[in-house]
A and B are shown apart, each in its own frame.
Chain A
Amino acid sequence: MKSKVKLALFSAVAAGIVSLPSMAQSPAEKVYVPHGKHDEFYAFLSGGYNGQLSVYGLPSGRLLKVIPVFSVFPMNGYGYSEETKAMLMTSHGFIPWGDTHHPELSQTNGVPDGRWIFINENNTPRVARIDLKTFETTEILEIPFSGGNHASAFTTPDTKYITAATRFSVPIPQKDVPIAEYKKYFKGTLTFIRADKPGKMDIAFQVLVPGFDYDLAHCGKGPSYGWCFFTSYNSEQAHTLLEINASMKDKDYIAAVNFKRAEECIAQGKYKEVKTKYAHNYRPDEGDRIARTEWKTSVKWIIPKECPGVVYFLPTPKSPHGVDVTPDGNYIIGGGKLATVIPIHSFEKMINAIKNKQFAGEIDGIPVLKYEAINHCEIPNPCLGPLHTEFDGRGHAFTSCFISSDVVYYDYKKCKVLGHVPTYYSVGHLMIPGGDSAKPWGKYLLPMNKITKDVFLPTGPELPHAGQLYDISANVENTKPQFLLDLTELGEPHYAQAIPASILEPKSLKIFELEKNTHPYATKSEEEAKVVRKGNIVHVYMTAIRSHFTPDNIEGIKVGDTVYFHVTNIEQDWDIPHGFAVYGARTSNLLIMPGETLTLKWKPEKPGVFPFYCTDFCSALHQEMQGYVRVSPKGSNVPIKYGTGEEMHTVK
C-alpha cells in the first residue's frame, strides 16, 4: 500500500517536471495566443522617424495600435481636426512630423505604474505624455535651448521629473555665429521636466553644460535616488566630420546630475531666469477634449560654477551611448559603443570619490572624477559596439552590441560574461519588461534591430525593421535564452517599454461618456442638431449614430464660406466609432469615438452638391450613412436649410 502511494507521488512529480512549460514548450507554443486569450504584456515601441508610438502584444508580437504623437495621422484626424491641431504647435509654428525615440512608463516607487507613457521628439526638441486609459497623446511640451532632444524622456522613480538634453549642442542662446567657433559659442543643456501632474508639464530647470553631444540618460533609484546620469560623446567638441573628429579621445563623460542639489540652488536663488518662448500643448482626456497651446516665456538656468555639487563628470570609455542603472540602484553601466569593454561604475564609489575630492580635473566648473576611483569593473571583451543595457531583476544585465549583432548577458556584480545570443541584424536598443525599473518582469527580451536584410519577405528597397523575442525566464546562469519570434516593427524603434497586461487592461476606456462631453459645439441628441451661420462662418452641429448623420442634407452654404462640421458620435457602445469625410476637403477624415466631438474644417471652392459619408464600417447600413451639402455661388440667396428624413429646417 505504502509503495503504491510512493509510486503515485513519484509519478505526479515526474509528470509535473515534464510538463514544466519553460522546458516542454516549443517557441511556437510560447508565442501562440489562442482566440479568447490575450497577450501577457503590452509593449510600446517608439516609431523613430514615423513620429509615433506603436503598441504591441507580447509574446504574440501582434500590432495593436499606432498612437499618433508627433506626426499627423490622417487615419483618425490627429493633427487635422480642430481639436488636435494645437498638439503639434511649436515656437516654429505647426510641425506635422517628429522623430520619436525613447518611451518611458511613469513609475511609482521605481516600478512602472501604467498611468502614462512619455516619449521624446529628437528633431524639434519636445516631450509628450500619453494617457494609458485612452492610449492618446494628451500633452506635448517644447524644450527651448536644445538641439536634438535625445537623452529623453527618462523618469525619476516617482515620476517627479523626466529628462531632456541636447544631443546637438547649439549656440545658447541661439545666434548667428560662424560654425567654426563651436567651442566659443556652443553649449549643452540638461533639462528636468516636472511630469507628475497631467496638464501641468513644465520645465523645472536646465543645467548649462559644455558643448558636447548628450546622448542618453537614466535616473538613479534606491540608494542613487536624487541623481540622473547623462552620457556624452564628442567631448572633443568637433563640429564637422564627427565620425572621425568626435572619436579621438578614449574616454568621454557621463554627467551625473544631483537634482536635489539643483532644487536647493533654486530655493536659494542661485539660478538665472532666462526669457524665451516655447509651447505647452494640452488636450484633456475628458471634458471638451480640445487641445490648446499655452505659451511659456522663461526657464531657470543653473550654471554649475554657481551651484557647486550639482554635476560631476564620470570618465567613461568611449563615446558611450546607453547609461543604465541596475534595479538595485548601485551600479551605472555605460554602453561604450566604441569601447572594447563595458564599464560599470559604482554609485557608492562615486559618492566617496566626491567626498574625498578624487578629481582628475575640471571642465567649465564641473569636477571630473578619477576613473579608477568610481569604476566597479570593466566587462572584458564583451562584444563589439555595446550600446544599451537592460536587467532581468535577478542580477543579470543584457547589453545590445551593434557591430557584432548580438546580445551579451552577464552577472554585473561579479563582472562575469554568461553568454551571447544573436540578433538579425545590428541591434540598437533592447527591452525587457520593466527592464530599466527597480523591479523588472524578467520574462522576455526584445532586441530591436537596425538592419533587416533577408529576415522577412522583401518589400522593395525599403524593409520593415525587425525585432527578436527571446524567453529569458529560465536561469540564464546555465540556460541559454530561447529564441521565440521575429517581429516586424513600424518606423525605427529606438527603445521600448512593456508592462503586464493585468495593469493596463482593466482600465482601458471603452467609450467617452456623452454626458461628460463639454465641447462647446457638442450635439448630444438629434433634436439639437442645427446649422448656424455667423457671417462667412457656418457651424454644423451634427450627430452620428447607426446609421445616419443628422443633418444629412445641408443647403445654403456659399463659396467663400468656412464650414465647421462639429460631429458628435452619440453612440454609447464599445467599439462603434464613426468616420466623417467630405468630398474635396483638403484635410483628413475624422474618426470619432463614441461620446466624442471632432471638427472638420472645410472651405468649399466651387458650387455644386458634395457628398459626405461615414468612413468607418459601423453597421449593416453603413453604406447608407451618407449625406449631401449644397454649395451655391458667392452672393446667392439660398437660405440655410438642413435636416434628416422628413424634417427639414429652414433658417430665415
Chain B
Amino acid sequence: MSWISRGLIALASLIMIGIYFQPLWKIRLYAPQYPDGLGMIIWVNKITGKNPHDLQNINLLNHYVGMKKIDPNSIPELKILPVIFGFMIFLGLLTAVTGSKKLLYAWAVLIVLIGVASLIDFWWWEYDYGHNLNPHAPIKIPGMAYQPPMFGCKHLLNFKACAFPSTGTYILAVSGTLGVLSAFVEFLRGRKKA
C-alpha cells in the first residue's frame, strides 16, 4: 500500500471518531402551540431532545394518535451502532498500520454496506413508528400514517415535521469517501503494475 492510501484510510478512521460527539440526524416538529418547535436529536448511541423535556413531550403528543413511545433504551441500534463504528475505526487503523490491501478492500465494502443498511434501517424504523399504531388511540384518522420524513419537511396533522442529516452523518460520509478513495487508489496502482 502506498503512503497516500495508508494516510487516507488512517484519516478516514480518525475522522470517524467524531460521530461519537456529533448528532447523526435531527427531526424538528412545529405547530401553532409550539412556535419554537420540539426537536429530537439522533446520536450514534442515544436519542435526546433539543430542549431538556422535548422527547417526553413528543411522546405525550404522539400517544393521542397511537404512536409507540420512543424509548432510547429499547432501540437496539443505539447499542449496536457504536460497536460497529468502533470496529470500523479499529479496522481502518489496523489497515493503515499493516498496509494490508485485503483489509482495505474489506473496509471499503463494509462501510458502503453499513451506510446503506443504516439508512434502510432508519427508514424502516420511521415506517414502523408511523404506521404501527395502537388500535385504541383516541384520535384515529382513516388512511393517515405518521411516518416522519428522512430528508425535508412533511405535514402530519397539526405538525410540520422536518428531518435532516446532521454533522455526524456528514462526518461518516467524508470518512467513507476517504476510505473508498484509498481503496480506489490502491486498485488503480495494482492495475498499473500489472
Which residues of A line the B interface, CB within 8 A? 511, 545-546, 571-573, 619-621, 624
Identify the closest chain A residue to B56 (Cβ). Answer: A572
What are 19 A-to-B residue pairs whose CB atoms are below 8 Å? A511-B53, A545-B60, A546-B60, A571-B60, A572-B52, A572-B53, A572-B56, A572-B57, A573-B53, A573-B56, A573-B57, A573-B60, A619-B64, A620-B64, A620-B138, A620-B139, A621-B64, A621-B138, A624-B138
Residues in A neighbouring B57, C-beta threshold 8 A: 572-573
Identify the closest chain A residue to B138 (Cβ). Answer: A621
Which residues of B line the A interface, CB within 8 A? 52-53, 56-57, 60, 64, 138-139
In angstroms, Cα B52 to Cα A511, docked, is: 11
Residues in B neighbouring A619, C-beta threshold 8 A: 64
Measured CB to CB, the closest approach of chain A to B129, in angstroms, equals 20
Measured CB to CB, the closest approach of chain B to A21, in angstroms, equals 28
Identify the closest chain B residue to A513 (Cβ). Answer: B52
In angstroms, Cα B57 to Cα A85, docked, is: 32
Q: Which of A511, A571, A573, A621 has the most chain B CB atoms inside 10 A of its CB?
A: A573
In angstroms, Cα B53 to Cα A511, docked, is: 10
In angstroms, Cα B139 to Cα A650, docked, is: 31
Measured CB to CB, the closest approach of chain B to A74, in angstroms, equals 27
Residues in B neighbouring A545, C-beta threshold 8 A: 60
Measured CB to CB, the closest approach of chain A to B136, in angstroms, equals 10
Residues in B neighbouring A621, C-beta threshold 8 A: 64, 138
In angstroms, Cα B137 to Cα A621, docked, is: 11
Residues in B neighbouring A624, C-beta threshold 8 A: 138
In angstroms, Cα B53 to Cα A571, docked, is: 9
Measured CB to CB, the closest approach of chain B to A516, in angstroms, equals 12
In angstroms, Cα B57 to Cα A511, docked, is: 13
Identify the closest chain A residue to B38 (Cβ). Answer: A573
Instruction: List the 10 closest pairs (A to B, CB-CB), nearest first.
Output: A572-B53, A573-B57, A621-B138, A546-B60, A572-B56, A620-B64, A573-B53, A621-B64, A545-B60, A620-B139
Measured CB to CB, the closest approach of chain A to B38, in angstroms, equals 9
In angstroms, Cα B138 to Cα A605, docked, is: 36
Seed contacts A573-B57, A573-B60; 12 additional CB < 8 Å A-B pairs? A545-B60, A546-B60, A571-B60, A572-B52, A572-B53, A572-B56, A573-B53, A620-B64, A620-B139, A621-B64, A621-B138, A624-B138
Measured CB to CB, the closest approach of chain A to B108, in angstroms, equals 46
Residues in B neighbouring A620, C-beta threshold 8 A: 64, 138-139
Residues in A neighbouring B64, C-beta threshold 8 A: 619-621
In angstroms, Cα B52 to Cα A619, docked, is: 21
Identify the closest chain A residue to B36 (Cβ). Answer: A574
Measured CB to CB, the closest approach of chain B to A527, in angstroms, equals 14
Residues in A neighbouring B139, C-beta threshold 8 A: 620
Measured CB to CB, the closest approach of chain B to A300, in angstroms, equals 47
Residues in B neighbouring A571, C-beta threshold 8 A: 60
In angstroms, Cα B57 to Cα A571, docked, is: 8
In angstroms, Cα B52 to Cα A572, docked, is: 9
Measured CB to CB, the closest approach of chain A to B182, in angstroms, equals 47
In angstroms, Cα B60 to Cα A621, docked, is: 12
In angstroms, Cα B138 to Cα A205, docked, is: 63
Residues in B neighbouring A573, C-beta threshold 8 A: 53, 56-57, 60
Residues in B neighbouring A546, C-beta threshold 8 A: 60
In angstroms, Cα B63 to Cα A621, docked, is: 11
